[in-house]
């Protein structure tokens, strides 16, 4: 099911034919391929350069309902509806005391098919998006080493890459020119690192350990595909439970980096079991389950770049910014920024304006959406803040919360929720470590 087998035939092995493209996109995750598909559809020549062999494994399986509009725009809704990806109607939280709260059913809020979304195996989902961009006319070259981004003064003008012939093993170094360079390299943040633009959030330096299980207890009916977020006793970490197809469940645990991985020689299994012991509801669900992959670990450091765009370049998806995974916002943000950037680039070509201002004019609205997620994440981690008590006091804010949980964040009218929440700050990494 979840495959990282590099010997699998990669469909994107064709050589790079041209020396010049309108747009080069680095990275074939959801941000890069969305942007590529829309640019190619608008008639631009697009080259996507991906480091990995596709299909490649990726964490981040739970979608938000607002991904619907991007999937619709890409013409992929029918494929999603026909797929075996479990349908997700809700998200549910379990408190640190083990209280199972009422699920947030999205269609109770908006009774429309767009309120139902999916839990996806990313290798398959990302491949579907990649195929779409190729169908629209983009070229994808997988397994490419991007050596450098080429600039003339501060304007991006191309890339230097190393290509390896898969049959002969011969290597070739090439320079390929473009008018716009889009960085969609995910957490590698190729350009933001190169240009020194990345700014970490010191309060959200988290680490995650996760694995996949078969035979875990699943709910039934509409709840079968729900994401469940369970806090552990003491609120120092939380588990996700994401049901995938074929009876597989993705289970991960996130906490402060220093708390999760204190560097005392604990194995991944010991860390996972240590946290599982503090989460009776997850224990119940996994009691008879069989673990089917090794543990994986990652740093989930929240960060964002100080700039979205420059002359001839744009940052999208995680390459611009990443927010803690608790609200499953990553793919939605990748889609949204891929769309915003594609529209800005198409307009820029039309008006002969590929300036930073034109390519990044969507930044303000996008950053606002990001900030909603981030402030909700702060509330989730703050030891003295309880959403349940907050909604008892301000029931009128529940709909705003659901807006964010659904991913409907690119609008200004959610500020009043945070005004009422007041300054809510999570503890620093050091406070949580002990």
Ligand X SMILES: Cc1cc2nc3c(=O)[nH]c(=O)nc-3n(C[C@H](O)[C@H](O)[C@H](O)COP(=O)(O)OP(=O)(O)OC[C@H]3O[C@@H](n4cnc5c(N)ncnc54)[C@H](O)[C@@H]3O)c2cc1C
Which spans of this chain sit near ligand X (rule: CB under 6 A)?
Answer: 26-32, 49-52, 56, 58-62, 146, 184-186, 188, 190, 208, 252, 298, 300, 317-319, 325, 328, 330-332, 334
- Position of tokens 């079968």? 224
d(CA 375, CA 43): 39
Question: Is the Cα torsion angle 139, 144, 146, 152 positive or negative in sign?
Answer: negative
Supply the minimum distance, in Å, between the C-beta of residue 351 and ligand X: 27
Looking at beta carbons only, is 56 or 285 nearer to ligand X? 56
Looking at beta carbons only, is 158 or 330 nearer to ligand X? 330
How far lies 214's CA from each of 163, 230, 239, 246, 287, in Å? 39, 19, 17, 8, 11
Supply the minimum distance, in Å, between the C-beta of residue 228 and ligand X: 12
Looking at beta carbons only, is 244 or 402 nearer to ligand X? 244
Supply the minimum distance, in Å, between the C-beta of residue 24 and ligand X: 10
Asked if 66 contacts 332 with a C-beta cutoff of 8 angstroms, the reply is yes
264 Cα distance to chain centroid = 30
d(CA 268, CA 271): 5
d(CA 425, CA 381): 8
Looking at beta carbons only, is 225 or 325 nearer to ligand X? 325
Asked if 223 contacts 64 with a C-beta cutoff of 8 angstroms, the reply is no
Q: Among 29, 34, 35, which Cα is nearest to 76's? A: 34
Q: Among 300, 320, 407, 306, which Cα is nearest to 32's? A: 320
Q: Which two tokens stand for residue 179?
A: 């008018």
Supply the minimum distance, in Å, between the C-beta of residue 233 and ligand X: 21
CA 390-396-397 angle, to 5 degrees, is 55
Supply the minimum distance, in Å, between the C-beta of residue 391 and ligand X: 23
Supply the minimum distance, in Å, between the C-beta of residue 341 and ligand X: 11
Q: Which two tokens stand for residue 361?
A: 């004019």
Looking at beta carbons only, is 33 or 400 nearer to ligand X? 33
d(CA 315, CA 185): 9
Asked if 311 contacts 156 with a C-beta cutoff of 8 angstroms, the reply is yes
Looking at beta carbons only, is 186 or 225 nearer to ligand X? 186
How far lies 240's CA from each of 61, 93, 219, in Å? 11, 10, 15
Supply the minimum distance, in Å, between the C-beta of residue 242 and ligand X: 6
Alpha helix locations (H) across 11-161?
30-41, 67-73, 77-82, 106-109, 122-135
Supply the minimum distance, in Å, between the C-beta of residue 28 and ligand X: 5
Supply the minimum distance, in Å, between the C-beta of residue 396 and ligand X: 28
Supply the minimum distance, in Å, between the C-beta of residue 389 and ligand X: 26
Q: Which two tokens stand for residue 77?
A: 């809704």
- Position of tokens 């943040």? 189
> To the nearest 10°, the Cα dihedral for 407, 411, 412, 414?
-30
Supply the minimum distance, in Å, between the C-beta of residue 379 and ligand X: 19
Does the bond joining 55 to the residue before it have cis omega, within 30 degrees of 0? Answer: yes
d(CA 194, CA 174): 20
Looking at beta carbons only, is 87 or 394 nearer to ligand X? 87
Looking at beta carbons only, is 59 or 276 nearer to ligand X? 59
Looking at beta carbons only, is 327 or 349 nearer to ligand X? 327
């Amino acid at each position: 099911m979840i495959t990282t087998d590099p010997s699998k035939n990669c469909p994107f092995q064709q050589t790079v034919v041209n020396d010049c493209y309108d747009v080069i996109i680095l990275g074939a995750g959801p941000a890069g391929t969305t942007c590529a598909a829309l640019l190619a559809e608008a008639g631009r020549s697009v080259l996507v350069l991906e480091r990995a062999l596709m299909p490649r494994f990726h964490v981040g399986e739970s979608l938000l309902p607002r991904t619907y509009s991007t999937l619709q725009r890409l013409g992929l809704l029918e494929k999603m509806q026909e797929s075996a990806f479990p349908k997700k109607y809700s998200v549910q939280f379990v408190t640190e005391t083990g209280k199972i709260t009422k699920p947030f059913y999205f269609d109770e809020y908006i009774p429309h098919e767009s309120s139902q979304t999916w839990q996806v195996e990313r290798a398959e989902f990302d491949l579907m998006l990649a195929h779409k961009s190729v169908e629209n006319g983009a070229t994808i070259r997988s397994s490419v080493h991007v050596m450098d981004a080429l600039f003339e003064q501060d304007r991006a003008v191309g890339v230097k890459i190393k290509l390896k012939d898969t049959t002969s093993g011969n290597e070739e170094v090439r320079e390929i020119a473009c008018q716009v360079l889009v960085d969609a390299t995910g957490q590698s943040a190729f350009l933001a690192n190169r240009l020194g633009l990345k700014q970490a959030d010191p309060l959200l330096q988290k680490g995650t350990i996760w694995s996949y299980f078969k035979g875990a207890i699943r709910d039934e009916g509409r709840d079968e595909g729900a994401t469940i977020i369970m806090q552990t006793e003491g609120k120092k970490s939380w588990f996700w439970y994401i049901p995938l197809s074929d009876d597989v469940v993705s289970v991960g645990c996130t906490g402060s980096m220093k708390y999760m991985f204190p560097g005392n020689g604990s194995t991944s299994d010991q860390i996972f079991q240590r946290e599982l012991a503090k989460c009776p509801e997850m224990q119940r669900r996994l009691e008879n389950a069989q673990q089917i992959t090794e543990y994986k670990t990652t740093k989930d450091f929240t960060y964002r770049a100080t700039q979205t765009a420059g002359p001839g370049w744009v940052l999208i998806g995680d390459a611009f910014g990443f927010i803690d995974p608790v609200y499953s916002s990553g793919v939605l943000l990748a889609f949204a920024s891929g769309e915003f950037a594609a529209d800005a680039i198409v307009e820029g070509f039309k008006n002969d304006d590929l300036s930073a201002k034109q390519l990044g004019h969507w930044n303000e609205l996008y950053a606002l959406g990001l900030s909603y997620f981030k402030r909700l994440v702060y509330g989730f981690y703050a030891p003295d803040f309880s959403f349940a008590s907050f909604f008892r006091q301000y029931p009128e804010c529940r709909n705003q919360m659901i807006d964010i949980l659904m991913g409907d964040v690119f609008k200004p009218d959610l500020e009043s929720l945070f005004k009422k929440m007041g300054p809510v700050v999570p503890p620093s990494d050091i406070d949580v470590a002990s």
